[in-house]
Structure 1
Amino acid sequence: MSGCNSLAQVQKLVEQLRVEASTERIKISLTAVELVQYCQDHRRSDPLLTGIAASSNPFKDKRSCVLL
């Protein structure tokens, strides 16, 4: 019975490798250039680079903390 199980596992592996081999690949250098261009085009609206105005920050406390 283990030979049958092993054969099924090998068939699954071969099928997975066929799927992976037929996948169309994109050159990494092209993708990196597109990513850099996207970041440069959208840097003005990126809150990590420009910051968030205190008046529009939903996480800022509305009142100050008072210690007694």
Structure 2
Amino acid sequence: MSGKVCSSNSVMQARRTVDQLRVEANTDRIKISIAAAQLVQYCQEHSRSDPLLTGIATSSNPFKDKKTCVLL
């Protein structure tokens, strides 16, 4: 009996795998060259507002220490 249960589980798992592969195969994809060009264009358009490229003004930096440490 356990052989039938194991066999039916593996068949069901195989069917789910085949269904998932069919869905993935039917997914529309764009070419990598087009995606790369779009990514470069997006980065260039938003480079002025990127804090990693432009930095954060010290007056608006929420992580700046409020007080400096003074050793006596």
5+ long unaligned stretches in structure 2: none
User: What TM-score results when the alignment is normalised by the length of structure 1?
Assistant: 0.90
Check if 1:29 corresponds to 2:39.
no
Identity %: 68
Paired with 1:22 and 1:61, the residues of 2 have a C-alpha distance of 53
Q: In the alignment, which residue of structure 1 is the partner of 2:12?
A: 8
| Equivalenced residues, count | 68
Cα-Cα RMSD: 1.0
Paired with 1:2 and 1:54, the residues of 2 have a C-alpha distance of 64
Q: In the alignment, which residue of structure 1 is the partner of 2:21?
A: 17
Check if 1:64 corresponds to 2:62.
no
Paired with 1:37 and 1:12, the residues of 2 have a C-alpha distance of 39
User: What TM-score results when the alignment is normalised by the length of structure 2?
Assistant: 0.86
Q: List structure 1 segments (4+ residues) > 6 angstroms apart after TM superposition.
A: none
Deviations 1:21-44 (A, max 9, x none): 111111111011011011111111
5+ long unaligned stretches in structure 1: none
